[in-house]
Structures are given as structure tokens and as C-alpha cells.
Amino acid sequence: MPRIEKWSLKFDRCVHCGRNDVKHVARGLCLNCYQSETEKRNRGQKGQKQGIASQRMTFKFLFENYVERKRSLIDIAKECGCSRQNVLRKIRQFNIPLRTRNEARKLAYDRHKISFKRVDEYGSERLVIPGSLEINKHFFSSWSKEMAYVLGVIYTEGNLFCDQNIYRFTVGQKEPELLNKVLSLMDCNAKVHHRRKRGISGDLYFFHVHHKEIYADLINLGLFPNKSDTIDFPNIPQEFVRHFIRGCWDGDGSIYFESGELRGSYTCGSLNFIEKLVQELYKIGISKGVSYRYEKSGKRVLMPVTSKEMLSKHPDSRFPLTIHEDKRSNAYYIRTATRENIEKLFHYFYDGVDESMYLTRKYNVFVKGLNLGKEEETKQLTLDLEF
């Protein structure tokens, strides 16, 4: 029967032989055509006698080159004048243990065989030829404003994975700016990958870091795999809390215009986490006033969230922001719309903070909404906060 599903993402059939009953391998070629083309491409010098590669690839030769010298299959194939697949068949025939994918990739990194381009937030490209992973392995061992900010980003946009001897954390975002800044702060040379839009999912930029010590530090700081709905607010020295919250807001928070007015919101899957976040914001004066509702008779009564009991706890009639539940997405969120709260949030986030530790796009929305184009106006609006 003819195939019903698409043969490959870009091709309906092999571009060489026109068949679609043999599986696709790469570049629009089926398995047969791909192997044939590879054999031709990797064939050795002209005039070589047929079978000379097989004669040369003895157990001793392969063991010395592949195991002891740790040469790649391609390098061995080029020397013997044959294909990579031929070398692989011989290695399997002699029961020589193969390297894992991670081991092979590490060797390629160490020998500078892998390179990639990194684009910063200004659109500039630079070629990166990495060795093995470089990172400040003590980055999460002690508190600093940089560490607190990156931790906030990982709390919201990160994911931890552990399986046997693999210890990895991943951070993903719709734009590369935040990821490049996080990597720079950690002195890390991990590659930022790009996955194009798929169906209803938009473009995604992400990086992986495999490091057992850093993974352990993140676990000690309260992170764990599949954390979204049960994560708790970590125990942070007060001087670094605002940097952590800014990292969280750059991940799961929003600053936007609605009906011409500036609005702020934050969404989280964990009720415990967002409750403590609201309390931290309340400490710096981000709050809401008394809420009323009107009965049919026209009588004005206090809303349940501002009952007489709460009024006794807050005689100034200022209360923590209300936490709303979105049952469709199984998440919780807060919103604020008053200029007073937005200004406090802006200065809490950005006063005295270098641009390497915030998302430029959200900062610019704040500046535009608060009309902070002039330095003098910014100074007049600065709040006397204890950081």
C-alpha cells in the first residue's frame, strides 16, 4: 500500500531515486541513496585497489586508533579511503566498544571540531569554537545580585533533569536576549539553540547545561524536576530578594498597555510561591485599596477580601494584591494598574541595576508607560527604598 504519512518534513519522496517506501535519512535521500552517496564521497585516493581498506582495518589498527588515540570514525575512514559506515561495521565485527553520543560530542568539543554562531541582543554575530563546557561552577554556591537574578530566571523558565549519570538544567525563552545574558553572568559558553515555530507553539530559544555540581546547588536552593505547580519561594537574604523577583518577572511576568494604560501582571502555577511573592511586594508598598460592592438596595458593603477582620490588621486600608485563579490553565496570577504601584515596581526592579541583569524589552515598556525619557524625571521619581 502507498504511504499515507509525509515521507519527510520537506520531501515527499527521495530526490535521487524517487522512491518513498525506503525511509528518509538526510538531505532528501532514502537510506539506499544516502549510503551510496556517502561511499562515493568518502572514497579514498584514485587508483586504490579494491579491498585495501578492509585489509588495513585490523583489530589492532582499529583498537589503537579508535580506543587508544580516540580518533573519530570519519578521521579513520579518510585515512583508510572508505566510508564511515564501513569503519563502523568493522568495529562492531571486532566487538570493540563504541563511544556514547555524549563521549563523542565531548571529544569533538575538546578538539574544536564544533563551532556555532551566537547572536547577541543587538543583532551582532560572533563565531564560537568551544572546548568542553566552560562555566563558573561556584556561581550558585554563594549569594550575589547576579546569582539571585539568574536563579529567578531558572525558577520560572528553567527545567531540571536527572537520569542515571546525566545532571542537566535547561532554560528556554521566546527571545535569545535573556538567555545570552544569563550565560554571560554564569561565564558559560553553552550554545543557544533555536527551535522554529511548530503548530501553535512559537519559536523557542534554549540552552542545556550538563554539570553535576551546579545541579546539586540548584537542588539545595529549592529547585527540582517538574516544579511548576509545587515550587516554593526560596529562603533568600533580604538584600537579594528584589534581584530574584526581577528574574522571575522577566520569565513569567508581563508589563503591557491596556486601553492606553500601563499594566503589570505575574502568573505562576504554585499558590505558595505567588503568595510569598505578593508579601514581598507588599513590603515595598505595592498594594491595593479597600474594595466594595453594591447590593440591589444600593447599600455599599465591603468585599470579602476586605472584611472587618482584615481592616483591623491593616488600619491604613492598604492590602496585599489579590491573587486570582485561572482554572482553565490551572495557574494563579496578580495584576496591578495604578501608576503608584507601577512606579514602585519599576524602581524596585531597576534602580542601580546594570542592563546585563534585566530584559531590555520589558524595561523599555516601563520607561515608555511612565514617560521616563529624561534623566531628571527619573531622578524625581526615585523612591527611598532600602535595598
Q: Which domains does the chain have, with CATH numbers?
A: 24-108 (no CATH), 116-227 (3.10.28.10), 228-286+321-387 (3.10.28.10), 289-320 (no CATH)
Residue 193 C-alpha cell reads as 539553540
Tens of pLDDT, residue by residue over 337-355, are 899 999 999 999 999 999 9
CB 263 within 8 A of CB 257: yes
| DSSP reduced 3-state for 308 | helix
Q: Which residues pair with 205 in a beta bridge?
A: 173, 194
CB 37 within 8 A of CB 29: yes
Q: Which residues pair with 30 in a beta bridge?
A: 24
Tens of pLDDT, residue by residue over 267-326, are 999 999 999 999 999 999 998 865 555 566 766 555 554 445 554 555 455 778 889 998
Name the residue among 138, 157, 160 with its Cα closest to residue 224.
Answer: 160
For residue 83, give Cα distances in angstroms to 25, 44, 73, 166, 370.
Answer: 16, 9, 9, 32, 64
Note the pLDDT of residue 367.
94
Tens of pLDDT, residue by residue over 133-188, are 789 999 999 999 999 999 999 999 999 988 877 888 999 998 899 999 999 999 99
DSSP label at residue 226? S
103/254 Cα distance (integer angstroms): 41
State the Cα torsion 137-141-142-143 to the nearest 10°. Answer: 90
321/286 Cα distance (integer angstroms): 7
Note the pLDDT of residue 186.
96
Q: Is the model's pLDDT at 374 over the cut of 50?
A: no
Give pTM, 2 decimals.
0.63
Q: Which residues pair with 193 in a beta bridge?
A: 206
